[in-house]
Chain A
Amino acid sequence: MKKYLLPSLKLTLVLIILCSILYPLFIAAVAKLAPGGGKGETLSVNGKVVGYANVGQKFTDDKYFWSRPSGVDYNAAGSAGSNKGPTNPDYLKQVQDRLDTFLVHNPGVKKENIPSELVTASGSGLDPDLSPEGAYVQVARVAKTRNISAEKINALVEQQIQKPLLSLFGPKKVNVLKLNIELDKIK
C-alpha cells in the first residue's frame, strides 16, 4: 500500500485544485452572463425585489392566487416534501382538510373542479407553479375580494399560461408569483 500512498496524496491535491477551485470558479464566471448573474433570477415591483422567479412562495390572502400546499411552509432555506405515503390515513385526512378549507374560501366551487395539486404538497415544498385549472378555479374568489370583474382576471390568467417546452414537451403551467404581481397592477 505504501508505494501507492504518495501518488494518492499528490493526485488528490491536484484534483482538488482542478475540480473544487478552478471548475466552480469557471462556472461562476460564465454564469455572470446568465439572467440574474448566477445569483438566481429575481422579480421586482417598483424596484423592490419581491421574490425569486423560480422559487414558490406562500400566498394565503384571499386577494391573491394561492400556491400549492407545502410540506415545509415554503421555507426556501429548508426545502423538503411531505414524504407522506399514498395510503397514510393521517395524510388522507390532511387532504380532506385542505379540500374543506378550499371550499370554505371559494364558495360555489364544486369539489370535482379542484385540481389535485391544490390539495397535495409538492416535492420541494417550493413549487412555483399551478396548472391553468388550478388558477382558473380561484378566479371567482380573487375577483370578488378585489371587486374586479372575473372576465378581466380570467384574461390575465390566460395571458400568464406558459406553454409546454417548444409547445410539445411537458405540462402547461402558471407561475403564481408572476401572476400575483400582474394581478396587483390591475385597477
Chain B
Amino acid sequence: MNTEITGIIVTFILTILLAYPLGKYIAKLYSGQKTWLDFMKPVERSIYKFTGINPGQAMNWKEFLKAMLTINMLWLVYAFFMFLYQAHLPLNPDGNPNMTADLSFNTAISFVVNCNLQDYSGESGVTYLTQLFVITFLQFVSAATGIACLIALFNGLKEKTTNNLGNFWQIFTVTITRLLIPLCIVVAILLAFNGSPASFDGKDTITNLQGDTIQVSRGPAAGMIAIKHIGTNGGGWFGANSTHPLENPNYFTNIVEIIAQTLIPIAMIFALGFYIKRKKFAYVIFGVMTLGVLLLLIPTVITEIHGNPLLTKMGITQLTGAMEGKELRFGPAASGYWSILTTVISTGSVNSMHDSSMPLSGLMQMLGMLVNGFYGGCGVGILNYFIYIIIAVFISGLMVGRTPEFMGHKVEAREVKIAALVTLLSAFIIKGGTALAAYYFVNHGDANWAVKPSAWLNNPNYHGFSEMLYQYTSSNANNGSGFEGLADNNPFWNITTGFAMILGRFIPIIGPIAIIGLMANKKYVPESAGTLKVDSITFGMMTFAVIIIVTALSYFPPLVLGPIAEYFSIH
C-alpha cells in the first residue's frame, strides 16, 4: 500500500515542478517574447497568409467572441455530418456503422465544447477517419479555443484601460503550433513506447492458449490519447477510456497521462502571474485551488483504500482496496487520485469506473465538477474562477460599503449581473435536467421510447438517482466522465445533455469575456488605502468561502438525494 501512496504524492509534486516552467513559457509565448519553439514561426506565417488573417489586428471583446463563435459553429456542422455518414467514408477497417442523428448531434457538440461525453463506444461507434479527422481535430481546437479565451482575459487584466483583448486567430494558432502539438508529441511517443498502439491496422484476431478465438481492437490511438489529456478533453479511443490496457498500459503511463491532463491548467495559473506581473495574485489562486483539490482528494483516496464496507461484511479481505471498476496495475490510491483530478479539471477521462466508486468518492467527484474551478479545464478553469472572484469582490464591497473595485476597475451592476447569471445557469441546467429525467423515470417509466425510462438505470435507489445527476453535472461542467451504467445512447439523453453541454460551454466563456471587456474599458482607478487587496490571502479565503457557499446553496438538495443518502445507507 505504501508504494501506492508514494506514487500519488510524487505524481502531484512532479506536476507542479513541470507546470511552473511551463507557466513561464506560456507567459512568454503570448506576450511575444522569444521562445525556443520560434522555429514554428514560418509555419504560422504561412497559415496567416493562406487564411488571410492579419495576426496583429486588435479585437475588442465582441469581435473576439464573434470570431470564436463563428469557427466553433462551423466545427459543429462539420462534425455532425461526418459522424452521420462515417460508414461510407474511408478509413473504416472494422466496418463500423453511421451514427444516428441524435447520437451525432450529441457527439458533435460533445467534442466541439471540450466535454467529450461519449454516448457511443470507441471500438464500435466511430471509424479511424472520424477518430482522427473529427475527434482528434476537435480535441486540439477546442482546447485551443478555451486557452485563447483565457488569454483574452489576461490581456484585459494586464492593461490599465484597453479595448483590445488580442487577436483571436493569432492566439488560437500559436496555441496549437507552439503549445499543444509539441507537448502532445512528447506524450504520444512516451505512450507508444509503453504499448499504446499507433498504427492504422484494424482489429486483430487471435486463438489463445485455451483455444478461444479473441478479437482485439487497435488503431492509431497514441496521438489521440496524448491530446485527450493535454487538452483536458477526456474522450477515449476505446470504450473503457484510460482503464483500457492499450490506452493506459502501466503505472508509468498512468503517471504520464494524469500529469498531462493537470499540466496546462496549473501552468495557466502561474502564467497568469507572470503575464500580468502580479505573481502573488497567481500564487494565492493556486493556493486556494490546491486547498480545494486536497479537500476532495484526501477523503476519496482514504475511502477507496479502505474498500467497500458491504464486501467487508461478507468476509472478503480487501487488501487492494475497493476493486470493482478498478485496474490492478493502478490500485485504489492512483484511481482515487485520478478520479478527483479528472473531475476538478474538466478532462473526464477515467482510469477506474466512477459508477463503482464508493458513495463518498462519487460525492467528491460531483463536487469537483460542480465547482469546476479548482484548476479547471484548459483555459476555462480560470475563467470559471474569475466569476467566483467577481462575486467575492462584490460581496466584499457590500461588507465594507464601497463600490467594489478589481485591479483598478470598478465592478458595477452589469458585471455582477453577468457573473450571477452564469452561476445560476449551471444550477438551472443541472437540477432542471435531473428533475426532468427523474420525472420521466418515475411517472412515465413505460413510455414507448427507444429505451424505456424505467430501463435507463444500471443501479437502483440512491445510486440510480446519482447516475442521472452525474450525467447532467458532467455535461454542464464539460467534463465528459460518467456514471457509465446509465443507458445514455437514446434520444432523450442525447438531446438533453447536448443542450446542457453547449450552454455549459459557451455561457461561462462569453460571460467572463464580456465582464473583462466591459471592465477593461473603464477608467483606471489608482490604488489607494481603501482598495481591496485582491492578492491577499484574506481575499483568497473570501473567494474560497464564496465557492463553498454558492455550491452548497445550489446543490446540497440533489446531493443529499444521491450520494449522501447512499453513504448513510451503508455507514
Binding site for B on A (CB under 8 A): 1, 4-12, 14-16, 18-21, 23-24, 26-28, 30-42, 45, 48-61, 64, 68, 74-89, 91-92, 95-96, 99, 111-117, 119-131, 133-134, 164-165, 167-173, 177, 180-181, 184
User: Is B239 in the interface zone, CB < 8 Å from A?
Assistant: yes
Please determine whether B311 and A40 come into contact, CB atoms closer than 8 angstroms. no
Question: Is there an interface contact between B220 and A83, defined as CB atoms closer than 8 Å?
Answer: no
Q: How far is the CA of A79 from the CA of B308 in the complex (A)?
A: 24
Tell me which residues from 305 to 348 in chain B have a Cβ below 8 Å from any Cβ of chain A: 307-308, 310-311, 314-331, 334-335
Q: Does B6 contact A (CB under 8 A)?
A: yes
Number of A-B contacts (CB under 8 A): 385
Q: How far in angstroms is the closest Cβ of chain A from B323?
A: 4
Enumerate 26 A-B pairs (CB-CB under 8 Å) in ascending A order. Answer: A8-B70, A11-B172, A16-B133, A21-B132, A23-B181, A27-B189, A31-B193, A40-B195, A51-B206, A51-B214, A52-B246, A55-B245, A59-B210, A76-B214, A79-B217, A83-B459, A83-B484, A83-B485, A84-B356, A87-B459, A87-B461, A91-B459, A112-B317, A116-B320, A131-B320, A171-B251
A36/B74 contact (C-beta < 8 A), A76-B217, A116-B320 known: no
Complex CA distance for A61 and B212, rounded to whole angstroms: 11
* Given A83-B458, A170-B251, A122 contacting B3 (CB threshold 8 A): no
Contact of B75 among A12, A76, A87, A168 (CB under 8 A): A12
Complex contact A86–B324 (CB within 8 A): yes
A77 near B195 (CB under 8 angstroms)?
no
| Distance, CA A56 to CA B217, complexed state (A) | 13
Q: A112, B315: Cβ atoms under 8 Å?
A: yes
Known A7-B169, A165-B7: A133·B319 in contact at CB below 8 Å: yes
CA distance A1 to B210 in the complex (A): 62
Tell me the smallest distance from the CB of A102 to a CB of chain B, in Å. 11
In the complex, B295 has a CB within 8 A of chain A:
no
Taking A19-B181, A27-B222 as given, write out 10 further A-B residue pairs in contact, using a Cβ cutoff of 8 Å, ordered by the A residue number: A1-B70, A12-B141, A34-B193, A57-B210, A83-B353, A85-B485, A86-B308, A95-B314, A112-B317, A116-B317
Q: Which residues in B have their C-beta under 8 angstroms from that of A95? A: 311, 314, 316
Give the complex CA separation of A177 and B216 in angstroms: 15
**What is the chain B residue whose CB lies nearest that of A58?**
B212
**B198 x A27 contact (CB < 8 A):** yes
Q: A7-B53, A116-B319, A133-B319 are in contact. Are A12 and B71 (CB under 8 A)?
A: yes
Q: Is B444 part of the contact surface with A, judged by Cβ < 8 Å?
A: no
Q: How far is it, in angstroms, between the C-alpha of A24 and the C-alpha of B319 when the chains are bound? A: 41
Contact B326 A123 (CB under 8 A): yes
Contact check, B328 vs A121: say whether CB atoms are below 8 A apart.
no
| Contact residues in B for A171 (Cβ distance below 8 Å) | 3-4, 251, 320, 328-331
Chain B residue at minimum C-beta to C-beta distance from A174: B328
Instruction: Please determine whether A116 and B311 come into contact, CB atoms closer than 8 angstroms.
Output: yes
> For window 200-231 of chain B, which residues contact chain A by CB distance below 8 Å?
200-201, 203-204, 206-210, 212, 214-218, 220, 222-224, 226-227
